[in-house]
Amino acid sequence: MGRHRDNKISRSIVSAIQEDNKTQRRLRLWRPLKTFFALYGLLLIRLRPELFKRLREKICKLSDDEYKASFKDKDALVAKGDMGYSGSTFFNTKDDKFLIKSIPRRFEHTFFRDDLLEPYVSHMESHPKSLLVRITDFLGWRYPSIGGLFGIAPTYHLVMENLLHGQKQGSD
């Protein structure tokens, strides 16, 4: 069951990154109804896409094509499992460039969105060589679903650069 859950969640993340929000706006009326009954596969969208695109280009020096290349196929993510006490699920891209962390608790994603995001962006633009992790995207659910409402599937995710990218496995 865990592998099926991880596959559905990772495909939802990849779809959100590969599709632009303009495409998602043209969805048919049946999509919200179908999405509501999903346990794991949520319809995620990129939140504040222009802001994160600016950060990727200015701070990370990363083009949209280069970024999306890490998410090029539906199986682009590898589940790292549930780590720690936060209840978060982690994935990384197969090329190991990006790490995706779920934000399952309401207070966490509302704090990030409402209180932390603007100061984070301001700091990163003022201090591009900052040692803070570079967040490249913020994903959230577009329509409610049974899986999201009951906490079966995480409804918000942060995509960030993997600080360990390029290091050999097993090195300290």
User: Which residue stretches of the chain have pLDDT < 70?
Assistant: 1, 20-41, 81-86, 143-152, 168-172
Is residue 22 in some structural domain? Answer: yes
Quote the domain boundaries for residue 48.
2-161
CATH number assigned to the domain comprising residue 118? 3.30.800.10
Is residue 168 in some structural domain? Answer: no
pLDDT in tens, 107-143: 888 899 999 999 999 999 999 999 999 999 999 987 6
Is residue 139 in some structural domain? Answer: yes
Total domains in the chain come to: 1
Is residue 166 in some structural domain? Answer: no
Specify the pLDDT at position 35.
62
Residue 142 burial by CB count (10 A; 0-12/13-18/19+): exposed, middle or buried? Answer: buried
Specify the pLDDT at position 21.
54
Specify the pLDDT at position 80.
86
Specify the pLDDT at position 107.
82
